[in-house]
């Protein structure tokens, strides 16, 4: 109990004193995970949306592999990316090992299946319910997937949160490919692991609390944005109708 209360106090004092070391670790963690999520979401949204509407031979097999990848251990991802980026590996010429880029790549690989699988399920469910209506309007599979992706945008914010949560909370991959170098590749999770191994439990727990607080803050922000946008969607602009009615009405009768 003392350890825990010490940790809370330590965390509080670290935060309130704007500890530069803590700040740099938190910012680095956020930057790595944000970059990884951006990359994974860019690819995963398109891939997941396409998988949601596409029907092809071997699709069930692809989905089984994709769902299996959801349970991919982060340390295995770290190991694979390490092998790829090591000097003798196929991507060794990039010279990324033990760098920020290596950590981003590892987290992207880790998060991509999460985004793809969740988006695929969301779009497939929506397409099963409403795809026929888009088909009736003349939308092909590609257009249907894009329209559903856009229409499910608020639901997909949850996918973003899940992806970010998976990225920022993992330790194995960034530890292996980043090396936990002080001031260079040390992030919150690797710092927690290090402080624990050194026996500095209050600081380790304090970092854990900061990590939780950061994720909580992001969740709250996304929830607020979602609610604000949904409300904005439901309420018409006050003189929107007048503006529209004033527009010249051409087009074929």
Determine which helix (DSSP H) or strand (DSSP E) holds 127, and give its type and residue range.
helix 100-137
Give the integer Cα–Cα distance in Å for 148 and 126.
7
98 vs 154, which CB is nearer to another protein?
154
Determine which helix (DSSP H) or strand (DSSP E) holds 102, and give its type and residue range.
helix 100-137
Please state the closest distance from residue 251 (CB atom) to another protein, in A: 4
Give the integer Cα–Cα distance in Å for 181 and 116.
31
Examine residue 17 and tell whether it contacts another protein (CB under 8 A): no
Please state the closest distance from residue 44 (CB atom) to another protein, in A: 21
Please write down the long-range contacts of 144-153, taking CB distance under 8 Å and 24 or more positions apart.
144/53, 145/49, 145/50, 145/52, 145/53, 146/49, 148/49, 148/52, 148/53, 148/123, 149/45, 149/49, 149/119, 149/123, 151/126, 152/122, 152/123, 152/126
93 vs 235, which CB is nearer to another protein?
235
Examine residue 150 and tell whether it contacts another protein (CB under 8 A): yes
Examine residue 60 and tell whether it contacts another protein (CB under 8 A): no
- Report how many residues bind another protein under the rule CB under 8 A: 31
Which among 102, 103, 108, 99 has a CA at the least distance from the CA of 171? 103
Examine residue 129 and tell whether it contacts another protein (CB under 8 A): yes
Examine residue 241 and tell whether it contacts another protein (CB under 8 A): yes
Please state the closest distance from residue 203 (CB atom) to another protein, in A: 46
Site string for another protein, 210-239 (x = CB under 8 A): -----------------------xx-xx--
24 vs 135, which CB is nearer to another protein?
135
197 vs 233, which CB is nearer to another protein?
233
Site string for another protein, 154-173 (x = CB under 8 A): x-------------------
The single residue among 70, 137, 217, 221 that binds another protein, judged by CB under 8 A, is: 137
Which among 90, 81, 66, 68 has a CA at the least distance from the CA of 36? 81
Contact residues for 69 (Cβ-Cβ < 8 A; gap 6+): 113, 117
For another protein, the binding residues (CB under 8 A) are 129-130, 132-139, 143, 147, 150-151, 153-154, 233-234, 236-237, 240-241, 244-245, 247-253
């Amino acid at each position: 109990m003392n350890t825990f209360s010490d940790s809370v106090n330590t965390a509080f004092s670290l935060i309130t004193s704007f500890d530069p070391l803590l700040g740099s670790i938190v910012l680095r963690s956020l930057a790595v995970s944000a970059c990884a999520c951006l990359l994974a979401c860019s690819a995963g949204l398109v891939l997941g949306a396409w998988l949601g509407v596409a029907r092809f031979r071997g699709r069930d097999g692809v989905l089984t592999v994709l769902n299996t990848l959801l349970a991919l251990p982060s340390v295995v991802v770290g190991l694979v990316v390490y092998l790829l980026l090591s000097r003798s590996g196929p991507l060794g010429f990039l010279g990324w090992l033990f760098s920020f880029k290596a950590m981003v790549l590892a987290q992207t690989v880790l998060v991509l299946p999460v985004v793809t699988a969740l988006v695929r399920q969301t779009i497939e469910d929506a397409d099963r319910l409403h795809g026929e209506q888009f088909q009736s309007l003349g939308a092909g599979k590609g257009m249907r997937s894009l329209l559903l992706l856009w229409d499910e945008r608020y639901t997909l914010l949850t996918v973003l949160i899940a992806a970010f949560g998976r990225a920022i909370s993992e330790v194995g991959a960034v530890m292996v490919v980043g090396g936990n170098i002080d001031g260079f590749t040390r992030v919150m999770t690797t710092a927690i692991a290090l402080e624990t191994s050194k026996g500095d439990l209050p600081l380790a727990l304090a970092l854990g609390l900061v990590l939780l607080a950061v994720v909580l803050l992001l969740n709250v922000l996304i929830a607020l944005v979602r609610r604000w946008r949904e409300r904005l969607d439901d309420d018409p602009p006050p003189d929107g109708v007048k503006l529209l009615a004033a527009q010249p009405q051409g087009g074929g009768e």
